[in-house]
């Protein structure tokens, strides 16, 4: 007789908390953030490099927005994470659940089981924040997503080069009719030709898709890559870049990281 065993899915987390979304299409809305550990990118501008590796513990906010964190061991079983999210889910408080990181799509097997349950439990829309470079993993969870904020990584700013993956990723979102927008981090070193290529790529899928240009937040000297310091662009640069992209795309907005202005870190 074969005995079947059931293994409870687990994920390595950094933190779970409630805050105001500071970037992109959902800026200003209140979200439950589930921040996953691990990232396979090494962007020069990254202000969350602590998520690149899997920590032994994670932080869980007990009361939404109060930053009264408890420390728990990793990895976290799926039923426990559902309990933590539901504790955050006070009536009428949150607009959606944000899956962020790190790179959440590195946890796709976990997400395929977690997402249908958390949607049913909370009744909240699910928003994915992603590097936009893992289309194969995206296909597995698209049915459970309501919106996607995907990065376009410009080599001149991030050091990454993911054009083919970005194109496939964006097409998948568009064909699935999932609300999607593009976020592009720009710095003083931004290559104009790369921005134009990004605009042409988006326009070829659908020129109505919104693009958010986000001026980089300069990192502390100790955090920066010494071979490529990341400096904020000038206002003149940003104005010129927006004008260039609007030749291809209808909706191009410039939005800084507002959560840092509000001290919602």
| In the predicted structure, residue 218 carries a pLDDT above the cut 50 | yes
Is 40 a known ligand-binding residue? no
Is 119 a known ligand-binding residue? no
pLDDT band for position 34 (cuts 50, 70, 90): very high
In Å, how far are 98, 170, 243 from 37, measured between CA atoms?
Answer: 14, 24, 37
Is 48 a known ligand-binding residue? yes
Burial degree of 164 (CB within 10 A; 0-12, 13-18, 19+): exposed
pLDDT higher at 232 or 257: 232
Number of Cβ atoms within 10 Å of the Cβ of 50: 11
Q: pTM of the predicted model, to two decimals?
A: 0.91
Instruction: Give the whole-angstrom CA distance, residue 109 versus residue 89.
Output: 24
In DSSP terms, 183 is beta-bridged to 151, 212
DSSP state of 156: H
Is 35 a known ligand-binding residue? yes
**What are φ and ψ of residue 106, in 5° steps?**
-70, -10
The pLDDT, as a whole number, for residue 221 is: 44
Is 58 a known ligand-binding residue? no
Asked if CATH classification 1.10.287.540 holds for the domain at 10-261, the reply, yes or no, is no
- Per-residue pLDDT of 94-144, as tens digits, reads 999 999 999 999 999 999 999 999 999 999 999 999 999 999 999 999 999
In Å, how far are 34, 40, 224 from 216, measured between CA atoms?
Answer: 23, 20, 12
Is 92 a known ligand-binding residue? no
pLDDT band for position 7 (cuts 50, 70, 90): confident
The pLDDT, as a whole number, for residue 227 is: 54
Is 108 a known ligand-binding residue? no
3-class secondary structure, 192: helix
For the record, the structure tokens of 168 come out as 């496939």
Is 28 a known ligand-binding residue? no
Residue 136, preceding bond cis, omega within 30 degrees? no
């Amino acid at each position: 007789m074969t005995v079947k065993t059931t293994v409870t899915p687990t994920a390595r987390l950094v933190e779970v908390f409630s805050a105001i979304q500071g970037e992109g299409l959902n800026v200003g809305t209140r979200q439950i953030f589930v921040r996953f550990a691990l990232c396979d990118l090494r962007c020069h501008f990254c202000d969350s490099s602590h998520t690149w590796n899997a920590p032994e513990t994670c932080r869980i906010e007990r009361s939404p927005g109060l930053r009264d964190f408890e420390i728990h061991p990793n990895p976290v079983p799926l039923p426990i994470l559902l309990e933590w999210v539901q504790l955050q889910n006070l009536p009428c408080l949150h607009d959606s659940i944000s899956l962020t990181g790190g790179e959440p799509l590195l946890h796709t097997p976990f997400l395929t089981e977690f997402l249908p349950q958390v949607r049913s439990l909370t009744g909240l829309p699910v928003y994915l924040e992603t590097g936009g470079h893992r289309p194969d993993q995206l296909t597995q969870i698209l049915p459970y997503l309501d919106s996607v904020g995907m990065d376009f990584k410009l080599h001149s700013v991030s050091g990454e080069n993911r054009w083919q993956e970005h194109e496939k990723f964006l097409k998948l979102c568009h064909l699935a009719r999932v609300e999607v927008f593009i976020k592009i981090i720009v710095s003083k070193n931004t290559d104009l030709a790369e921005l134009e290529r990004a605009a042409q790529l988006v326009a070829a899928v659908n020129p109505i898709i919104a693009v958010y240009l986000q001026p980089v937040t300069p990192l502390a000297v100790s955090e920066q890559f010494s071979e490529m310091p990341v400096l904020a662009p000038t206002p003149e640069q940003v104005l010129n870049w927006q004008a260039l992209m609007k030749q291809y795309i209808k909706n191009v907005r410039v939005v800084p990281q507002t959560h840092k202005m509000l001290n919602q870190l």
